[in-house]
Amino acid sequence: MPTILGPNQYGKAENRVVKITRDGATHHIKDLNVSVALSGDMAEVHYSGSNANVLPTDTTKNTVYAFAKEYGIDSAEQFGIHLARHFVTSQEPIHRARVRIEEYAWERIETSDADSRFVGADEAKHSFVRTGRETRLTQITYDGERWEVVSGLKDLAVMNSTDSEFWGYAKDGYTTLQEAYDRILATQVSGRWRFNWTDDEQRTPDWETSYEQTRKHMLQAFAETYSLSLQQTLYQMGARIIDHRSEIDEVRFSLPNKHHFLVDLEPFGLRNDNEVYLAADRPYGLIEATVLRDGCEARIPVDLTNL
């Protein structure tokens, strides 16, 4: 049976790089997990084992660390763009690079003492605590002509303890769900947003500001939407981002509906006045949708676990 090689890519995954920038005694941290996937003229290594076109994955790893020193890490996006450009433009057989980065947030430890080791009165200059915040994400893809920058986040847990209803839904013989006029709405946001950035237009956003503002608009929309369904809330979250951030054309969310069930306390002679809930972990409703700037194309993959 003749066979041929299908799609393939290779590179070093999960390069953990921590970059300390020393501004005198005040230090700054960037903590990234960088995965590089390269593709191009790689048939021969699969067919015959000739490694002539193969830049070793070990070199890919070394480049990540060397670039952290040589160019610094202003933002995950800028760092990923730099790496992707390097692999595609420096190695003729490499036609496409995809760089995925996760970023973990650290914040300064607050201190009670004011002395020279501290920034201001109460922030340590070189002592940090990893925040319980979400994981920030970015993916940069470059094929020598086109760039695609998709950033986002995962594991951002949010809850509204009121202003959420769910009723008026379709019912059939298997429907048992009671209509809810005041329920908890909770989810763990996984979101991705695609930038309209291209290298030639010199319209490069400040990636750090863009992330903080996008996150802020998303959270404000979650908090401020009186929700009739998680679907409606999702749309508002996406629309708020598109309305406020001109650098973003597409937003996709995957939102697990983290169900909170009122516990029946009647057997104990107690009235549960919307106070005591069982937080169920599974199964969960899974609400997923893309919100687009009018006229733009949906390009973020439907399944966010693939991004």
Ligand X SMILES: O=c1[nH]c(=O)c2[nH]c(=O)[nH]c2[nH]1
* Positions that interact with ligand X (CB under 6 A): 166, 177, 229-231, 257, 285
CB 116 within 8 A of CB 25: yes
Catalytic residue among 30, 61, 259, 290: 259
Minimal distance, residue 157 CB to ligand X, in Å: 17
In angstroms, the CA 196 to CA 305 distance is 22
Is residue 28 part of the annotated active site? The answer reads: no
In angstroms, the CA 115 to CA 121 distance is 7
Q: Which is nearer to ligand X, 118 or 166 (CB)?
A: 166
Minimal distance, residue 228 CB to ligand X, in Å: 8
Instruction: Tabulate helix, strand, coil % of the chain (nearest 5).
Output: 25, 35, 40
Q: Which is nearer to ligand X, 228 or 276 (CB)?
A: 228
Is residue 61 part of the annotated active site? The answer reads: no
Q: Which is nearer to ligand X, 214 or 257 (CB)?
A: 257
Catalytic residue among 12, 30, 125, 258: 12
Catalytic residue among 27, 28, 57, 86: 57
Minimal distance, residue 185 CB to ligand X, in Å: 7
Minimal distance, residue 247 CB to ligand X, in Å: 30
Beta bridge partners of 279: 260
E-state strands within the chain: 15-23, 26-40, 94-104, 106-110, 118-119, 123-130, 135-142, 147-160, 185-195, 248-257, 260-262, 277-279, 285-292
Is residue 12 part of the annotated active site? The answer reads: yes
Minimal distance, residue 166 CB to ligand X, in Å: 4
Q: Which is nearer to ligand X, 172 or 297 (CB)?
A: 172
Q: Which is nearer to ligand X, 1 or 170 (CB)?
A: 170
CB 276 within 8 A of CB 226: no
Closest residue to ligand X in the complex (CB): 230
Q: Which amino acid is at 2?
A: P
In angstroms, the CA 216 to CA 235 distance is 16
Residue 175 makes CB contacts below 8 A (sequence gap 6+) with 169
Q: Encoding tokens for residue 75?
A: 């933002």
Active site residues: 12, 57, 259
